[in-house]
């Protein structure tokens, strides 16, 4: 019996070895019996999470617990958390009915035509603190209804309570603002291929794995698996093209892995490549007041990246995985223990916190990572890790962590408490310059240029400063932006190029030309976009070939955005600068069909019609813009210019006056309105308007020239010396100004 068992065991062992051998042979290229060969130029492919499980069992088990794993699932009894047991929910004039039929889940709610329809739920979307649901529409679209399930309070709720959205609006759940393919899919699936077809306005979206799996973060794994099966890894021979992105590497590497989904950004390519340079594939937002508070604190749904890059933590090499387990997504430690990994114990004591520590109600996070609710119930924390500054709240109205809790008190009370506890002086923070810089008044330039010249300022804040400077077109701003083109951070170079495009091209083309061959794709695209405003025959010969190449990258990028309304407008602008007015009109109209509220498109479309001599169409477009946004000063300014061209001076005067009353900050309005008043014999009103414009843009040549000329005409040479002096200082050799200089004896 013993001998028989031994023989049987040996047979089983031989069988197992044979199976393993066959498996190994299966993974080998044909004809290679002794060694697996990874082709040097063969890109890795996606193989799915099951391929990782056998070697990385612990990591796999942690991932199965994560929100990443549950990011998107087929709808069934084990994945759907919401109550579909014949429940109704009414909010903002819409009643939704949740029910099951034949084991399937349905939502009856308002559809594309505004009438109720039954929609089958195909997938769950998210897990906690809320779960959304996906329903299918024609042309390959998946849409996300606005009514969601609160997984903590076990209730249906409207994410955007109080907003009654018309079914024709882009923000209605059946339209682009809630479209999974465009807005959500790339961060809830692995190896997403959006496959949008613009002419048909349809999708054929695919993915390797439905949810966020191993390869979403680590990259495609086929070569890695082949190498592991070859035994080479065990020998320490980690061959080229078999590596995966590792989560235990530098903080730059880690955040570049996380940023594609944990940043507010624009995709360039629709996928993340292997260059290691984030801005080859996406363009992150910078902390300007378009999406952030003026001091850089999070405001809109800004996610993590832009906040974290502002922090001291990031600049002292703190990594995502110092706080979060990379596979489960959970925090490594609870409450203040997480911070005490690095910070001294004194920061967990009353002398620092000044709150009852024992209660546990106030933690480090309460003061240094204040939270805000998004999507109705999703509390997210600001990762800029800043010290509360209620004194800046007093001065500028920005939020602070103290008053986010003590809402019954004002910022002055909080500021006084900080002075009492920690003394009257505060350590400098970049927000002391970023906030006044964001106000774009006569004092802003000095604050913004200071940020760009300080080597200790986070690069993403410098990028924000560069972004603001396009609103301040002075000689000093120009020089600072040209210098920023040499910054080592591509975010700064990118934003500097964007701002420089608002200045005369002759002032920057020599400095910007080399960036057409920048090592980072986003920068090359920005350079190409700037150069599109120059006729090709006027581009310096040395840059023409690199411009042609970079312009093709720009075109590819713009075409990748066509599922967005703004993407169509960006492409229309591109064609407009190239004087392809037919294509420009096509994409302006296409963008407006997707989102009828985009008045920016109407401004340019009306300008296009005007350039083609179609002023009736141009006026109609601007009147549409006025109906869409009657309090928009830019609409009134454009109407004033068009009415002037049409010789309807009464209507032009009304529109000019409305634009000024609406508080326009455009210096050109005050220039043209002033000229209009001057031509109508109203010199006193013209003077006030020119002065207003100069206050907004102190070195604007046209405004200073107009003001100096008005004073000379009205025999006030003493007053003319001020604006004429600005012209003499900024552009002394311009032949246009020589008559004024002679008149005032300034030669």
According to the model, what pLDDT value does residue 10 have? 33
* Residue 124 bridge partners (DSSP): 73, 133
At residue 210, the pLDDT reads 96
**Of 403, 426, 449, which residue sits at a domain end?**
426
**For residue 5, what pLDDT is reported?**
37
- Per cent of the chain over pLDDT 70 is 93
Q: What is the mean pLDDT of residues 694-700?
A: 90
Render pLDDT for 66-118 as a digit per residue (tens, 0 to 9). 999 999 999 999 999 999 999 999 998 899 999 999 999 999 999 999 999 99
What does the pLDDT read at residue 19? 38
**Which of 426, 454, 484 is the endpoint of a domain?**
426
Residues 400, 256: one domain? yes
Confidence of residue 164 (pLDDT cuts 50, 70, 90): confident
- Residue 409 covered by a domain: yes
Residue 213 sits at φ, ψ, to 5 deg, of: -110, -175
Are 306 and 278 within 8 A, CB to CB? no
pLDDT at 33 over 90: no
Instruction: Flag whether 107 is in a domain.
Output: yes
Q: Within this chain, do residues 205 and 292 fall inside the same structural domain, yes or no? A: no
Q: What is the pLDDT of residues 405-425, one digit of tens each?
A: 999 999 999 999 999 999 999
**Domain assignment of residue 521, yes or no:** no
What pLDDT does residue 660 have?
Answer: 97
Beta carbons of 274 and 316 less than 8 angstroms apart: no
**Domain co-membership, 257 together with 397:** yes
**Secondary structure of residue 348 in the 3-state scheme:** helix
Residue 203, beta-bridge partner list: 196
Residue 439: pLDDT over 60: yes
Cβ within 8 Å of residue 532, ≥6 positions away:
551, 554, 574, 577, 578
Per-residue model confidence (pLDDT) at position 8: 33
Expressed as residue numbers, the domain containing 391 is 251-261+282-426
Q: CA 672 to CA 658: how far, in whole Å?
A: 14
| Residue at 106 is within a domain | yes
Residue 380 CA, chain-centre distance (Å), reads 17
Q: Are residues 309 and 382 in the same domain?
A: yes
Q: For the chain, give the percent of residues with pLDDT over 90.
A: 80
- Whether residues 165 and 307 share a domain: the answer is no
Compute the half-sphere exposure of residue 447: CA atoms within 13 Å on the CB side of its CA: 21
Q: How confident is the model at residue 238 (pLDDT cuts 50, 70, 90)?
A: low
Residue 24 lies in a domain: no
What is the predicted pLDDT for the residue at 21? 36
Same-domain pairing of 255 and 401:
yes
For Cα atoms 167, 172, 177, give the angle at the middle one, nearest 5 degrees.
145
What's the angle, vertex CA 201, arms to CA 195 and CA 204, rounded to 5? Answer: 30
Q: What is the pLDDT of residue 37?
A: 53
The answer to the question of residue 620 being in a domain is: no
Do 181 and 78 belong to one domain?
A: yes
Question: Does residue 277 fall inside a structural domain?
Answer: no
Q: Are residues 181 and 256 in the same domain?
A: no
94 & 204 share domain: yes
Helices (H) and strands (E) in the chain, counts: 33, 15
Cα angle 225, 231, 237 (rounded to 5 degrees) comes to 90
Q: Which two tokens stand for residue 505?
A: 């091209």
CA distance 556 to 576: 17
Mean pLDDT of 569-595: 95
Residue 44: the pLDDT is 87
Q: What is the mean pLDDT of the chain?
A: 90
Domain match, 189 and 293 both: no
Considering the domain architecture, whether residues 87 and 150 belong to the same structural domain is answered as yes
Q: Is the peptide bond before 129 cis (omega within 30 degrees of 0)?
A: yes
Q: Residue 734: which pLDDT band, with cuts at 50, 70 and 90?
A: very high
E runs forming strands in 87-138: 87-91, 94-101, 104-110, 116-125, 130-136
Same-domain pairing of 288 and 422: yes
The pLDDT of residue 592 is above 70: yes
Total number of domains in the chain: 3
Whole-number pLDDT of residue 204: 97
What would the DSSP string read from start to end of 705-733? HHHHHHHHHTT-HHHHHHHHHHHHHH-TT
| Tokens found for residue 630 | 């009657």
Q: What element of type H or E holds 266?
A: strand 265-267
Among 405, 426, 447, the domain boundary falls at 426
Q: How confident is the model at residue 247 (pLDDT cuts 50, 70, 90)?
A: low
Asked if the structure places residue 532 within a domain, the reply is no
């Amino acid at each position: 019996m013993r001998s028989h068992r031994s023989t049987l065991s040996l047979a089983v062992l031989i069988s197992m070895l044979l199976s393993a051998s066959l498996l190994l042979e299966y993974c080998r290229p044909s004809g290679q019996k002794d060694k697996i060969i990874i082709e040097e130029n063969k890109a890795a492919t996606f193989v799915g999470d099951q391929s990782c499980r056998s070697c990385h069992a612990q990591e796999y088990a942690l991932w199965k617990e994560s929100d990443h794993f549950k990011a998107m699932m087929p709808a069934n009894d084990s994945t759907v958390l919401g109550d579909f047991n014949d429940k109704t929910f009414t909010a903002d004039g819409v009643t939704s009915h949740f029910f099951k039929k034949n084991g399937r889940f349905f939502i009856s709610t308002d559809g594309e035509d505004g009438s109720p329809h039954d929609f089958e739920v195909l997938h769950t979307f998210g897990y906690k603190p809320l779960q959304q649901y996906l329903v299918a529409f024609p042309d390959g679209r998946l849409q996300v209804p606005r009514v969601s399930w609160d997984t903590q309070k076990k209730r249906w709720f409207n994410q955007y309570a109080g907003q009654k959205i018309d079914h024709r609006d882009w923000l209605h759940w059946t339209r682009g603002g809630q479209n999974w393919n465009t807005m959500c899919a790339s961060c809830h699936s692995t190896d997403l291929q959006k496959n949008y077809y613009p002419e048909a306005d349809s999708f054929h979206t695919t993915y390797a794995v439905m949810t966020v799996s191993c390869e979403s973060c680590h990259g495609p794994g086929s070569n890695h698996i082949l190498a592991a099966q070859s035994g080479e890894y065990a020998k320490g021979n980690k061959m080229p093209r078999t590596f995966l992105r590792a989560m235990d590497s530098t903080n730059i590497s880690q955040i570049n892995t996380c940023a594609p989904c944990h940043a507010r950004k624009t995709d360039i390519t629709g996928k993340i490549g292997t260059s290691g340079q984030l801005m080859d594939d996406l363009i992150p937002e910078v902390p300007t007041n378009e999406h952030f508070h003026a001091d850089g604190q999070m405001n809109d749904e800004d996610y993590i990246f832009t906040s974290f890059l502002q922090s001291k933590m990031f600049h002292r090499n703190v990594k995502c995985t110092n706080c979060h387990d990379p596979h489960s997504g959970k925090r490594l430690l609870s409450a203040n223990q997480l911070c005490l990994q690095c910070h001294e114990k004194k920061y967990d004591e009353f002398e620092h916190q000044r709150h009852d520590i024992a209660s546990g109600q106030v933690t480090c996070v309460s003061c240094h990572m204040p939270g805000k609710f998004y999507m109705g119930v999703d509390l997210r924390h600001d990762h800029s890790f800043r010290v509360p500054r209620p004194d800046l709240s007093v001065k500028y109205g920005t939020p602070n962590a103290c008053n986010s809790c003590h809402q019954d008190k004002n910022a002055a009370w909080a500021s006084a408490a900080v002075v009492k506890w920690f003394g009257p002086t505060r350590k400098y923070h970049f927000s002391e310059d970023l906030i006044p810089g964001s106000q774009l008044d006569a004092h802003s330039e000095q604050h913004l240029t200071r940020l760009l010249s300080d080597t200790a300022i986070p690069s993403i804040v410098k990028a924000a400063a560069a972004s603001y400077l396009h609103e301040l077109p002075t000689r000093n701003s120009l020089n600072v932006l040209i210098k920023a083109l040499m910054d080592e951070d591509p975010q700064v170079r990118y934003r500097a190029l964007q701002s420089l495009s608002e200045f005369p091209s002759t002032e920057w083309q020599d400095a910007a030309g080399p960036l057409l061959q920048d090592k980072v794709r986003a920068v090359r695209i920005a350079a190409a976009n700037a150069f599109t405003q120059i006729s090709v025959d006027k581009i310096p010969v040395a840059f023409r070939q690199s411009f042609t190449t970079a312009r093709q990258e720009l075109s590819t990028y713009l075409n990748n955005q066509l599922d967005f309304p703004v993407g169509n407008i960006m492409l229309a602008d591109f064609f407009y600068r190239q004087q392809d007015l037919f294509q420009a009109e096509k994409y302006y109209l296409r963008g407006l069909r997707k989102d009828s509220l985009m008045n920016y498109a109407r401004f340019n479309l009306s300008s296009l019609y005007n350039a083609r001599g179609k002023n009736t169409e141009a006026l109609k477009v601007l009147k549409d813009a006025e109906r869409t946004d009657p309090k928009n000063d830019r609409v009134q300014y454009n109407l004033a210019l068009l009415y002037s061209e049409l010789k309807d001076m009464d209507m032009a005067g009304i529109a000019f006056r409305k634009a000024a009353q609406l508080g326009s900050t455009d210096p050109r309005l005050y220039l043209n309105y002033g000229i209009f008043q001057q031509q109508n014999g109203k010199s006193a009103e013209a003077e006030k308007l020119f002065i207003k414009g100069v206050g907004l843009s102190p070195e604007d040549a046209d405004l200073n020239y107009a003001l100096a000329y008005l004073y000379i005409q009205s025999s006030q040479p003493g007053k003319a010396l001020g604006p004429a002096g600005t012209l003499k200082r900024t552009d002394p050799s311009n032949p246009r100004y020589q008559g004024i200089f002679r008149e005032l004896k300034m030669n």
